[in-house]
Amino acid sequence: MPTFRRLLGFLRPYRGTWVISFSLALLAMGVTVASPYLVGRGIDQIRAGDRGGLTFFAVAIALLGLGRLLLTIGRRLVAGRVSLGVEQDLRDRLYGHLQSLEMGFFDRWQTGQLMSRATVDLSAVRFFLGYGLVFIVQSLLTVVLAAIAMTIQQPLLALLALLPAPLIVFVGHAYGTRGRPAQQDAQQAVAELTAAAEESISGIRVVKAFAAEERRREAFEATVERAFGKQLRAVRIEAAFQPFVQFLPQISLAIVLLAGGRMVVDGDLTIGQFAAFYVYVLMLIQPLRSLGVMLGLGQRATASGMRLFEVLDREPTIVAPTDRPVRTLPADGGGAIRFEGVTLRYPGQTRPALEDVDLTIPAGERIAIVGETGSGKTALIQLLPRLYDPTAGRVLIDGVDVRDLDPTALRREIAIVDDDPFLFTASVAENLAYAAPGATREEIERAAERARAADFIAALPDGYETVVGERGLTLSGGQRQRLAIARALLAGPDREPGDPRPRGPRILILDDATSNVDATTEQAIAGGLDEVMAGRTTLVIAHRLSTVRLADRVVVLERGRVAAVGDHDELLARSQLYRDIVTYGMAGQVFLTRKQEPIEVTEA
Amino acid sequence: MSAPGPSESGSTTRRGAAFADIRRRQQATRGRGRRTRSLFGMMRPYRGRIAILLVALLVATAASLAPAPLAAKAVDDGLSKGNLDHLTVLVAVLLGVSLVGLVATVVRDRLVGWLGARLLSDLRERIFRHLLQMPVSYHERQRAGVLVSRMTNDVDALQTMISSSLVTLISSVLMLLGSIVILISLDLKLALITFTTIPVLLLGSLAFRLASVDAFARTRETIGAITAHLQETLSGVRVIRSYGREQGHLDRFHELGDENRRANMKTVYLNAAYFPAVEYLSTAAIVIVLLVGGAEAIDGAVTIGVLIGFVTALDNFFGPITELSNVYTTFQSGMAALEKIGALLDQESTLTDPAHPRELPDPLRGELRFEHVTFGYGVPSRGGSASAGGTGASSSPIVLHDIDLTIPAGATVALVGSTGAGKSTLVKLAARFIDPSEGRVLLDGVDLRDLRQRELRSRMGIVPQEGFLFSGTVAENIAFGRDGATREDVERVVASLGAGDVLDQLPQGLDTEVGERGGSLSAGQRQLVAFARALIAGAPANGDGRLGGPSILLLDEATANVDLRTERRIEEALELLLSDRTAIVIAHRLSTIRSADLIAVVEHGRICEAGTHEELLVRGGAYAKLHEDWQRGTTDAPSAAAS
């Protein structure tokens, strides 16, 4: 059970508190177990007609009960604190780990998968560590302490009464081997069902377009019925196990009745002791029942733990160097870029995304990158901020291998504007200042102006305080892109007060939108971009001629290799591929030219 | 002075507010009667099983109550009198009862498990059916993830409620009632003394429930915030990495975790006060019974056996009370889930089939006509309900104004214009994904609303812009276009589109798995598959040399596929696809636009001009300007033509 032991490791920071909680539970259970004994003694006093003795024991029970009340309250408070602490640690740990992992990880793992691990699996683990374990300990304590109490009072009867106990271990083991696979089977079937539903709902337009509702329904119902069948199997196994565990104490009860009764008649046992035994065995029913349930929870938690560790055990690959000194970019560097024999192979892909790319971009140059889908344009730019590391070769910025830098410091020097920019659910101002939390309102507004976003921001319901993003106001693609440009302009390292250089990244990367910005705005942005690009190296993934024309040089990529480099005219003359791209890849879409762009103010 | 003194009226309003608060909390703890009834409604088909379940539950509970009275009997009739035979009989009775209890418990657990799984499967199917019949406009406003979570997470919460909490609830109540009967039958006076604790218990439970409503709601809220943040982090991971802003997110996440922890701590306090108190009450009851009953026993008014039986039975009296409070939490989240599912199912589809549908003629001519069509989200359509099935845009809800457009049978119309101008709305109207707010859309003179949606769409081929594919093979995706399409149909369509050579290049040809959302195909390949899927819709080719396929084609051309290898194929296939049938194309390629029979330029929800390419160029309007801009864009590239 290495997974189980590792899960227990999450309790380590709380060892001290856990010991207190355990001691309190032990004391409380000791008191609980003492109670039937006292009741028995009380009954014997009644038999003897001793009113004073009876009162004594009754008062003792009441006082012990009071003690237990205090102990239990204390135990609950301490244990609750531990369990909530563990929960938060676990969540922070997983979240922190996800934040440390490289982009490649997120390409291979679907968001849904990660979400289900971070919610469903995490809650199974925390429920077990927080509550399940306490219950198990408490139940075990009850069983053990009750057994001890019984043995002290009448060893032979205790032995007889506990005769069925080993059966529980046997049954529990049998359940573990059969029940767990059935449970996992059922869980897997539900996961398939989720995927099936997700696909149909995402593709609902297509389903409706082809009047395929009936067919999809039938297919989905078949999946549901399959899951139902598997759940049923798990239910049957469970239904054979649980009742049996509850039945065993009844046998003990019969033994106590039969053997204990004889002992009373023979005078070896007082009636009070007999009553105490009877109560002890009844006391076992509840813990045994919850033990079964909790062990089941433990199994689920272990399975979930395995799934969590699958994520947690993935070492982050893109980190600051540990075996050599961390270097910094020269302060006066202008963002010169060099790709030296760079090959990039995405995990699980046979064909490399980039193959043996050599490219030198002097500081301050503007480079357009063109190529077909899948030619490696995005792969190339992702190497700069180390979203990926090359499989072979190296990438240098101002003469420093990017792998010798602290990734966070490196990324402060590079700003990317995606073709479909992501905004967080936060105000416009917060989104703009995302890369530079210390930016002043003035700086923010200035960046918005340079990105030609100031006008539409002013028209938003709450201006810069308007909440946008997934759970906020929906903006059009063009608007989002302009915000992303402004956001990029605010990136870059913080400047000392009095530093004349404006804020901004050393390297700017633009992924040209294919259809998001209309011609008029594009012209406006281009004017702004000119200003923006000044003094920094810019790489543009270009999908239209107008964008290509902003660049000093064009790099043509083909199947991960650099096919040609040169300016527009040279390439038109020299490269057949470039001519094809310009003619077939760019020409037709220019007809998309937009004149109007309504501000979408759809409340999400 | 302006300092607010504790005036009479002030304190009454404060008290009033406190009462209102308690009332609100109290309502939050119950209510939802309608939802619960709907749950019972779902159980109706399984009445027989439920009846057996209730019997099993009754028997199992009764069996578990047996030990206490048996102990009383054993002590009084067996031990006190030294009657061992009688004792043996009682042991046999106990074993017999236990065995019956065992069987009943097995039956109970199986049936409960069955019922839980069955009801939840039914519910999943019902939600799915419901979502399938909701109009496209509804799905455009809802995120798929949220809808799916209704079918999974919420249904799971409900299953827990039904299969564990509901049974605990019923058996606890039965147990409580049974114990009351047993206590009374053992000794009325002692029983009445014990029952004095009931009002205390009731008040305590009520206070506990009222106090916990807000605490539980708060924990659910805070956990929701955590999940939302997590989701957003995963969606935006590229931005986070690009700007190296991990630390900020870590801090925020920890803050959210703190809020959740604080909310949870409140429930810990409440539980720590409530449960030990109930426990103590049971101890107090034992003490009182011992004192009062003991005195009576010494006086001979009560037998010792009754006293022992009584003490034993007390456990069965207080146990269920703790259990009931325990299930309360799971019940809360189960009810919350039921509420969410119920709200989902309550959303009514605004696009329904007519009671007396008309049939389309066969063969269809295929003339499409928009008559004075106006459309706006949230604007009531014929039938009175909101046409969009959701909240509308807050400003300028009108998307299309008074559109009049006739597309003659067999003609291709290209829609040109900006995003948001209303092009895709026109296409959605033609497919009856939405209904016009005013005016009507006619196919061969029949109002689309008089047709069954299935009938209408089976005559149409639709190519959405993103070319959504389902996981499965290429062939399966093409066959998706028509119910019952055979492998031969698929191959014929692929061949007639001229897509064979492109698709054959795939690793397993037509049997290649397309991956999630078609991810393992290139954009161009996906496009071709989507074409083939649209072409296979409608009637199969009838052997007279014609291509067959749908009478009407609705196509949203992809904007950018820089996929030179398939580009020419796509153009050719498109030409084939458009020939010989009525088509509406949201066009982006000049070649497509040029070859259209009619070009409609859509701006601000109106058709501002229409005609052929040549006509429009001559007219010198919006289209001519677009064309001019485009020409400048391509040739402006310095000396491209010259070299």
How far is it, in rounded angstroms, from Cα A113 to Cα B608? 48
pLDDT of residue A73: 95
DSSP assignment letter at A495? P
Interface test with B, best of A589, A594, A602, A603 (most B CBs within 10 A): A589
DSSP B161: I
Distance of alpha carbon B91 from alpha carbon A253, whole angstroms: 9
- For B151, which DSSP code? I
* pLDDT value for A211: 84
Residue of A nearest to B60 (CA): A243
When mean pLDDT is compared across A212-221, B21-30, B270-279, B358-367, the lowest value belongs to: B21-30
Residue A2 distance to chain B (closest CA, Å)? 28
Instruction: Answer with the residue of higher pLDDT: B365 or B549.
Output: B365
> What length does chain A have?
604
A472, A473, A475, A481: CA torsion to nearest 10: -40
Q: Which residue of B has its CA nearest to A567?
A: B638
Q: Which residues in B426-451 are b (16+ Cβ under 10 Å) and which e?
A: bbbbbbbbbbbbbbbbbbeebebbbb
Does the beta-carbon distance from B271 to A80 stay under 8 Å? yes
CB atoms within 10 A of CB A313: 9
The pLDDT tens digits of the residues spanning A115-133 come to 878 888 888 898 888 888 8
Give, as one character, the DSSP assignment of residue A425.
S
B44: amino acid identity, one letter: R
Q: How many CB atoms lie within 10 A of CB B153?
A: 17
Task: Return the higher-pLDDT residue of A470 and B445.
Answer: B445
B382, B435 Cβ separation under 8 angstroms: yes
Residue with tokens 């959210």: B256
> Hey, do B33-135+153-185+333-347 and B368-635 end up sharing a CATH topology, with the first three levels equal?
no
**Angle ∠(B366,B368,B369) on CA atoms, nearest 5:** 150
Q: What is the mean pLDDT of chain A?
A: 85
Residue of A nearest to B159 (CA): A231
With residues binned 3-state (H G I as helix, E B as strand, rest as coil), the percentages for chain A, rounded to 5, are 65, 10, 25
Does the pLDDT of residue B42 top 70, yes or no?
yes
Q: How confident is the model at residue B215 (pLDDT cuts 50, 70, 90)?
A: confident
The CA distance from B446 to the nearest CA of chain A, in Å, is: 19
The reported pLDDT for the residue numbered B8 is: 46
Q: pLDDT class for B15, splitting at 50, 70, 90? A: low
Chain B residues closer than 8 Å to A213 by CB: 132-133, 454
Q: Where in chain A is the domain with CATH 3.40.50.300?
A: 337-603
Contact (CB, 8 A) for B211 and B273: no
Q: Under an 8 A CB cutoff, do B242 and A387 touch?
A: yes
For the stretch A283-297, pLDDT in tens is 888 888 788 778 778
Measure A390 CA to nearest chain B CA, in Å.
17
Residues of A with Cβ-Cβ distance to B152 under 8 angstroms: 190, 193-194, 197
CB contact under 8 A, A43 and B307: yes
Q: Which of A362-371, B181-190, B247-256, B567-576 has the lowest mean pLDDT?
A: B567-576
Task: Please give the CATH number for the structural domain made up of B33-135+153-185+333-347.
Answer: 1.20.1560.10
Distances (CA, A) of A523 to A448, A518, A526: 16, 9, 5
- Of all residues in chain A, the one with the smallest CA distance to B257 is A88
Size of interface A-B (CB pairs under 8 A): 474
Is residue B606's pLDDT more than 60? yes
CA distance B596 to B589: 11
Looking at residue B631, what is its pLDDT? Answer: 67
Sign (positive/negative) of CA torsion B593, B594, B600, B603?
positive
Give the integer Cα–Cα distance in Å for B110 and A232. Answer: 8
Q: What pLDDT score was predicted for residue B53?
A: 93
Flag the least confident range among A89-103, A353-367, B404-418, B626-640.
Answer: B626-640
pLDDT at B206: 85
**Whole-Å CA distances, A324 to A321, A380, A395, B498:** 6, 26, 17, 58
Tell me: the pLDDT tens digits for B221-267? 898 889 888 888 888 888 888 888 888 899 999 999 999 999 999 98
- Chain B residues lying within 8 Å of A409, measured CB to CB: 244
Contacts of B590 in chain A (CB under 8 A): 587-588, 591
* Nearest CA distance, A370 vs chain B (angstrom): 10
Hey, are the CB atoms on A236 and B110 less than 8 Å from each other?
A: yes
Residues forming a β-bridge with B443: B368, B446
> Which one of A85, A421, A593 has the shortest CB-CB distance to B630?
A593
Residues in A touching B639 (Cβ below 8 Å): 569
B392 pLDDT more than 50: no
Separation CA A253–CA A282 (nearest Å): 8
Nearest of B113, B328, B146, B159 to residue B227 by alpha carbon: B146
Q: Do A200 and B105 touch (CB under 8 A)?
A: no
SS3 state at B229: helix
Q: CATH assignment of A2-154+269-312?
A: 1.20.1560.10
Task: List phi, psi (to 5°) of A602.
Answer: -90, 125
pLDDT computed for residue A549 by the predictor = 77
Number of other CB atoms surrounding residue B561 within 10 Å = 24
Q: Between chains, do B468 and A371 touch, taking CB under 8 Å as contact? A: no
pLDDT of residue B573: 84
**At residue B544, does pLDDT exceed 60?**
no
User: Average pLDDT in the A460-480 region?
Assistant: 82
Farthest-apart Cα atoms in chain A, separation: 119
Asked whether the beta carbons of residue B250 and residue A92 sit closer than 8 angstroms, the reply is yes
Which CATH architecture is the domain B368-635 placed in? 3-Layer(aba) Sandwich (3.40)
Give the chain B residue whose CA is nearest to the CA of A588: B589
Query: Using the beta-carbon criterion (under 8 Å), do A242 and B567 form an inter-chain contact?
Result: no
- Given strand B446-447, what is the order of strands in its sheet? B398-407, B368-376, B438-443, B446-447
Q: What is the pLDDT of residue B256?
A: 94
DSSP B388: S
d(C-alpha A210, C-alpha A205), whole Å:
9
pLDDT tens-place string over residues B94-150 = 999 999 999 999 999 999 999 999 998 999 999 999 998 888 888 877 777 778 878
Record: contact B265-A80, CB cut-off 8 A: yes
Q: Where in chain A is the domain with CATH 1.20.1560.10?
A: 2-154+269-312
How is the beta sheet containing A561-566 ordered, strand by strand?
Answer: A414-417, A507-511, A537-541, A366-371, A553-558, A561-566
Q: CA-CA distance, A368 to A567, in Å (whole number)?
A: 9
* Residue contact B283–A65, C-beta within 8 A: yes
**Closest alpha carbon within chain B to A42:** B290
- How far is the alpha carbon of A92 from chain B, nearest alpha carbon, in Å? 7
Q: Any idea which residue has 């269809």 for tokens?
A: B364
Residue type, A39: V
Give the closest of A39, A228, A278 to B290, CB-based: A39
Q: What are the chain A neighbours of B418 within 8 Å (beta carbons)? A: 518, 594-597
Asked if residue A437 lies in contact with residue A493, where contact means CB atoms within 8 angstroms, the answer is: no
Range of lowest pLDDT (A14-28, A369-383, A398-412, A492-506): A492-506
On the question of pLDDT at A508 being above 70, the answer is yes
> How many Å separate Cα A213 from the centre of its chain?
34
User: Which residues are registered as beta bridge partners of B380?
Assistant: B386
User: Given a cut of 50, is residue A33 above it in pLDDT?
Assistant: yes
Structure tokens at A307: 């799934």
Q: Where are the alpha helices (DSSP H) in A541-588?
A: 545-548, 568-574, 576-580
A595 pLDDT higher than 50: no
Contact B447, B436 (CB under 8 A): no
Task: Decide: A333 and A34 in contact? Cβ < 8 Å.
Answer: no
Average the pLDDT over B156-169 and give the result. 82
The shortest C-alpha distance from A534 to chain B (Å) reads: 21
Inter-chain residue contact A588 with B589, CB threshold 8 Å: yes
- B420 or A229, which is more confident? A229
A239/B109 touch (CB, cutoff 8 Å), yes or no = yes
CATH architecture under which domain A337-603 falls: 3-Layer(aba) Sandwich (3.40)
Residues of B in contact with A209 (CB under 8 A): 431, 457, 460, 462, 464, 554
Tell me if B152 and A118 make a contact (CB, 8 A cut-off): no
CB contact under 8 A, A257 and B121: no
> Which of chain A's residues have a Cβ under 8 Å away from the Cβ of B470?
199, 203, 206
List beta partners, residue B417: B602
Shortest CA distance from B101: residue in chain A: A247
**Searching chain B, which residue's CA lies closest to the CA of residue A186?**
B117
Which residues of chain A does B457 touch, with a Cβ-Cβ cutoff of 8 Å? 208-211
Contact B128 A584 (CB under 8 A): no
Residue A352, pLDDT above cutoff 60: yes
Beta bridge partners of A539: A367, A509
HEC string of A224-283 equals: HHHHHHHHHHHHHHHHHHHHHHHHHHHHHHHHHHHHHHHHHHHCCCCHHHHHHHHHHHHH
| DSSP state letter for B471 | S
Confidence of residue B403 (pLDDT cuts 50, 70, 90): very high
Cα(B115)–Cα(B592) distance, rounded to whole angstroms?
A: 58
pLDDT at position A496, please?
A: 64
What's the pLDDT at A452? 83
pLDDT band at residue A503 using 50, 70 and 90 as cut-offs: low
Mean pLDDT throughout A522-526? 63
- If DSSP codes are grouped into helix, strand and coil, which group holds residue A159? helix
Chain B: nearest CA to A171, how far in angstroms? Answer: 15
User: What is the C-alpha separation between A388 and A375, in angstroms, rounded?
Assistant: 17
For tokens 């290139």, name the residue.
Answer: B522
- What share of residues in chain B are helix, strand, coil (percent, to 5)? 65, 10, 25
Residue of A115, A421, A593 with shortest CB distance to B231 = A115
* Dihedral angle sign, alpha carbons of residues A432, A437, A440, A443: negative
What's this model's pTM, rounded to 2 decimal places? 0.79
Chain A nearest-CA residue for B522 = A373
User: Which of the pair, A288 or A558, is modelled with greater confidence?
Assistant: A558
Q: Cβ contacts (< 8 Å) between B304 and chain A: which residues?
A: 43, 46-47, 271
Please tell me the least confidently modeled range out of A210-219, A221-230, A592-601, B549-558: A592-601
What is the predicted pLDDT for the residue at B13?
62
- Where do the H-state alpha helices sit in B153-235? 155-160, 167-186, 188-195, 197-235
ipTM of predicted assembly, 2 dp: 0.84
Output b/e per residue, B182-213; b: 16+ Cβ within 10 A.
Answer: bbeebbeebbebbeebeeebeebbeebbbbbb
Rounded to the nearest angstrom, the gap between the alpha carbon of residue B563 and the centroid of all alpha carbons in its chain is 38
Closest CA to A585 of B502, B520, B559: B559
Among all residues of chain B, which has the CA nearest to that of A90? Answer: B257
Q: Which residue of A has its CA nearest to B238?
A: A103
Helix axes B304-346, A271-312, angle to 10 degrees: 30
Gap between the Cα atoms of A304 and A293, Å rounded: 16
Domain ranges of chain B: 33-135+153-185+333-347, 188-301, 368-635
